Amino acid sequence: MTKIITIDGPSGSGKGTVSRLLADKLGFHYLDSGALYRVLSIAATRRKVDTANRTELSLIAEHMDVMFKTSTQGNFEVLLEGENVTRDLRMETTGARASQLAAYPEVRDALMKRQRLFARGDGLVADGRDMGTVVFPAADLKIYLTASIDERAKRRYKELIEKGEDVSLRALEEQVRARDERDTKREVSPLVAAEDAIELDTSDMSALEVLDTVLHIIDFKRLL
């Protein structure tokens, strides 16, 4: 039976990095659910579909040609219709639109079917905002990562500066705060820790320290 580990949390909590490291360490498949919403944002923009057109967005979500892969350099890449859209995926505008689309029940239903197909083989590490509460409620282990708004904004600021982008730390803090508001207050699948999730505050932890903590939890619970 496929072992499933969910790692949920707000943007900038470190869930993406930790999930990829954990999947690689365990030899599990990896699902970046947030990437699916971001890819949908890109696909809808390219097709000039209005963000309010729920019917068309749901159709795109159900049928879009998307693939996750690891490059020869070990980097995580996302392909949309065969084109590498990884860079576009990380743009702030893409993330903002994706957050809006994620509030639509029709879109979430269409993508949920695709997300559950990732659970195959020996195991899956699923990273997102409702992996442990909605998509995989019977997961073998549920982790919820969080961090202060200041720390999460600083992490994003550092990431963007290293890419050569001109950004404002104060503006990023407001964006993080606004996204938290949308994600936690939406009617469908709001961002919240599952009742049986183990919560970790990563504000003062490196990704490797978080990974080590999760591995200790897995060992303690004898999940593998």
102 in any annotated domain: yes
The pLDDT tens digits of the residues spanning 195-213 come to 999 999 999 999 999 999 9
159 in any annotated domain: yes
64 in any annotated domain: yes
What domain count does the chain have? 1
pLDDT category at 74 given cuts 50, 70, 90 is low
117 in any annotated domain: yes
213 in any annotated domain: no
Nearest-angstrom CA–CA distance, 223 and 197: 15
Mean of the per-residue pLDDT values of the chain: 91
The pLDDT tens digits of the residues spanning 12-52 come to 999 999 999 999 999 999 999 989 999 999 999 999 999 89
Span 43-67, mean pLDDT? Answer: 92
% the chain with pLDDT above 90? 68
- 70 vs 12, residue with greater confidence: 12
150 in any annotated domain: yes
- 181 vs 201, residue with greater confidence: 201
Structural domain harbouring 47 = 3-208
80 in any annotated domain: yes
22 in any annotated domain: yes
Span 148-174, mean pLDDT? Answer: 90
CATH of the domain at 161: 3.40.50.300
User: Based on the number of CB atoms within 10 Å of its own CB, is 216 exposed (0-12), middle (13-18) or buried (19 or more)?
Assistant: exposed
